[in-house]
Chain A
Amino acid sequence: MTVTAEEEVSSSGEAHDHLVARLEAVLRPDQVRTAATELHLYRHDASNLSGRAGVICFVESTADVQAVVRVANGCGVPFVARGSGTGLAGGAVPLDGAIVISTSKMNRILSVDAVDRIAWVEPGVLNLDLSKQIEHLGVHFAPDPSSQQTCSIGGNVANNSGGPHCLADGVTNAHIHAAEVVLPDGSITVLGGEDPEPEGYDLRGVFVGSEGMFGVATKVCVKLMQNPPDIATLLLDFSTVADGAELVSDIIADGIIPAAVEMMDQLCLQAIEEYIHAGLPVHQAAALLIEVVGLPAGVASDVARIRELAAQRNVGDIRVAADDEERALLWKGRKSAFGAIARIKPNYYLHDTVVPRHCLPEVLEQIYEIVDRHELLVVNVFHAGDGNLHPLLVYDATEPGIAERVHAAGDEIVRVSVAAGGVLSGEHGIGLEKRDLMPLMFSDVDLAAQADLRRAFDPALLANPNKVLPSPATCGDVHSIPDGAWV
């Protein structure tokens, strides 16, 4: 394996000491950590991938971020911004002794305008904390990843994260007005603006979802949305997965866009039921959790129409949440699905692809077939309204040869999704995990254009290098996936 210049520098003890000394000179020494336990902790995110962190910097301000990025440039060492580390695609995994810039201490809500519905927050603010702290103003931040209790707004911006309620309101990109950013060369600028049509290219738009490769967001201007006056939450169960999946397309084609349409299959329902005892339909093949929001007459008419459409798809029971408590219980089940899965097997690998809604029945069938063939177990719990699949392969990592089978099945799942007219990722991002699968969707010409954009933001290629774009657009091929990791 070829060793890059950065690797030589960062692995030499003298250069590393020099880097740490320079960082300690621009930050307080307690903000700069090199203890083995901390370096170990920051080697990975919530994926199964890990790398090698050189030093961790706990930044507290835009000036801190700028100072670290300038040191990184001075020393020619790459840097990786990190929020809460809940990413599932290895986007925040540091490679080759990179500097990890943790924004978790930049967690202030700076301003809230509940009338024009705009807030400025620091990147380390946790997603759910924002909505909780502004709830009394009648507004919320719409993107709601399942990890919303722990994921940060900065991370949401980096990954253009989604969540159940993005069906009606769009993913994170649609909820970001502006970001103050430290660009990879250390300069500070604001991309986008509170005003709706800032001059120039939509740099805000391309920064969202750039997975830390276009710079580090230090302040984020988010759009807030009105809390709905009326909410109906329904749980519909079906004796076949296909019936439930077909209903999703029926509803959308009928002109109804619910706030959320989530599907859980039987294994998922059983695991959640054991965990939260909510009286879920554990004997049915699948259930849809549907939420309709708005004004009372519109909600009532949508619910009535959904009941009619569901009857045509052989729905079993339709449970309507009677109050906020029951609604919260149903959502708790959905959002704690991944925790509940641990009761089946100790390890899981979560995939994230999108297919056209009308292909859901067929692709789900293919997924079950792939998983059977590899003698694995799959739990399906996903954003059906968006066609956003989340097959969760559950396994016991101590079983010999299992990692290879999980890997092979996952790869096939991604391929059938793309072949059905879908995409590689709906909300987790590409990171390291799917970097080498990008050619399934994009030609060399397409990828070269993405690399051009990346180079415009980061000519020195120091911001989270070797993610997203496969080689030869980057020098990614010299960095193998770290020992003991697999994708």
Chain B
Amino acid sequence: MSSPTVDLDVAAEEFAGQVGADGDVAIEGLGTRGGATGGVRTMAAPAGVQWIQPAEMTVRCGAGTPVDDLDAALAQYGQRVAIPDGGTIGGALSVGRSGVRRLGYGPMRDALLQAHYVSAKGEVVKAGGPTVKNVSGFDLCRLLVGSRGTLGFLSDVILRTRPRAEHEQWFSSDREPWELLTELYRPTSVLWNGAATWVLLEGNPDDIHTQAESSGMELANGPPDLPTGARWSLPPSELRSLRIAAPGSFVAEVGVGIVHHTHPVASVEPDVAALELQRRIKSEFDPKGRLNPGVSVLRAS
């Protein structure tokens, strides 16, 4: 276990004091995922790693901790978290977008085991529990991931880590991505731009070599550049319809359904019952609408 560099319980109380119980407030990280709402009192969450427990495969850190700092700290133990690079841990969780390794690592939301957040009343609330397996009570952690700071401001979190793979290698192929998805055993990522397929394999070097050879893939330097115009979320079976899209306009995460596209997606009418439920949740957690005012989890940019 690493020596503590920060007391996150004390930091949470101080953070709660800053958030207070009145007036509009916004949370800001490193501004890599859109930045804070303007025009209101802005604050940052506690930062720092309190402990790493390698045998538990868990880590406790402040929500304001840069993802890259946490990654470096975990690398010493041969571990990592399934959170995409850049920005802060709290920012990544609040926005809720997983990285391109989601096919193999699972969605980022599953990495969050416990959170302390500051509520609209300015109180520190604990959600979830510290162990890798836990069904004690309603799972508020799931609600916080992707909630864009509209229900509470994350103060610190306990995350599930995973071992860094012994070896990893990107490959490319002109074969159909769905053939490779079926043929390969648990690839970490399968990306497709309508013409070519890129595959990330992780694990034992001999297994990776055998898989690549039998499927006829070639070594690649890395994944392709991802278009940054928009991020679509489609049922994975619907990705096949992108075949008619303009070449170079997209890179799709096959088996997952995320499409990195140059053009915005057509908006979908939200379901009335689900919308009403979202509204009631916001109203229960932040009746005055003081947390990240103007931010909505619907129509996220």
Contacts and interface: CB of A to CB of B under 8 A. Distances in A.
B7 to A, nearest CB: 17
A425 B136 contact: yes
Contacts of A425: 134-136
A190 B41 CA distance: 37
B213 interface: no
A197 B204 contact: no
Contacts of B132: 354, 386-387
A204 B126 CA distance: 20
A229 B210 CA distance: 13
Given A443-B126, A446-B126, A426 B277 contact: no
A453 B284 contact: yes
Contacts of A228: 185
Contacts of B297: 199-201
Interface string B96-134: 111000100011011000000001000111110111111
A336 interface: no
B143 A174 contact: no
Contact of B146 (A174, A202, A438, A459): A202
B203 A455 contact: no
A63 interface: no
A409 to B, nearest CB: 20
A367 B257 CA distance: 47
Interface stretch (A9-17, A48-56, A205-213, A395-403): A205-213
A194 B235 contact: yes
Interface string A410-444: 00000000000111111111100010001001110
A183 interface: yes
B285 A426 contact: no
A449 B119 contact: yes
Interface in B207-264: 207, 210-211, 231, 233-237, 253, 255-258
Interface stretch (B17-25, B30-38, B50-58, B83-91): B50-58
B131 A426 contact: yes
A297 B126 contact: no
A205 B233 contact: no
Given A173-B110, A301-B204, A210 B163 contact: no
A13 to B, nearest CB: 35
Contacts, number: 259
A194 B234 CA distance: 7
Nearest to B148: A201
A209 B55 contact: no
Nearest to B165: A255
B76 interface: no
B281 interface: yes
Contact of B257 (A166, A196, A229): A196
Contact of A446 (B57, B79, B125, B210): B125
B273 interface: yes
A91 B223 CA distance: 47
A423 B299 contact: no
A429 to B, nearest CB: 5
Contacts of B57: 252, 257
Interface string A137-164: 0000000000000000000000110100
Contacts of A430: 135-137
B178 interface: yes
Contacts of B231: 197
A5 interface: no
B294 to A, nearest CB: 16
A423 B131 contact: yes
Contacts of A294: 185-186, 203, 207
Nearest to B129: A423
Interface residues of B, number: 86
A189 B56 CA distance: 38
Given A115-B181, A226-B185, A297 B204 contact: yes
Interface stretch (A67-75, A78-86, A273-281, A355-363): A355-363
Interface string A230-257: 0000000000000000000110110111
A407 to B, nearest CB: 20
A203 B236 contact: no
Contacts of B54: 253
A116 interface: yes
B136 A423 contact: yes
A387 B133 CA distance: 8
A204 to B, nearest CB: 8
Nearest to A457: B277
A183 B102 CA distance: 30
Query: Among the interface residues A116, A173, A190, which one has the most CB atoms of the partner chain B within 10 A?
Result: A116
Query: Among the interface residues A294, A438, A459, which one has the most CB atoms of the partner chain B within 10 A?
Result: A294
A200 B132 CA distance: 26
A428 B15 CA distance: 35
A199 B151 CA distance: 15
Contacts of B237: 113, 115-116, 118, 194
B97 A197 contact: yes
Given A197-B233, A252-B55, A445-B125, A160 B140 contact: no
A314 interface: no
Nearest to A355: B131
B140 A206 contact: yes
B271 A295 contact: no
A295 B125 contact: no
Given A226-B185, A446-B125, A426 B134 contact: yes
Given A115-B178, A442-B136, 14 more contacts: A116-B255, A166-B133, A193-B233, A195-B236, A196-B236, A196-B253, A196-B256, A197-B146, A201-B151, A257-B163, A294-B203, A297-B206, A430-B137, A446-B126
21 contacts: A170-B106, A174-B107, A187-B276, A188-B273, A196-B98, A196-B253, A201-B151, A201-B281, A202-B142, A210-B138, A226-B186, A256-B163, A294-B185, A356-B56, A356-B58, A383-B133, A387-B133, A388-B133, A424-B137, A425-B135, A434-B136
A-B pairs, top 5 by smallest CB distance, nearest first, are: A205-B142, A194-B235, A295-B207, A298-B204, A255-B163
Interface of B: 53-58, 78-79, 96-98, 102, 106-107, 109-110, 119, 123-127, 129-140, 142-143, 145-147, 151, 162-164, 166, 178, 181-182, 185-186, 203-207, 210-211, 231, 233-237, 253, 255-258, 268, 270-278, 280-281, 283-285, 297-300
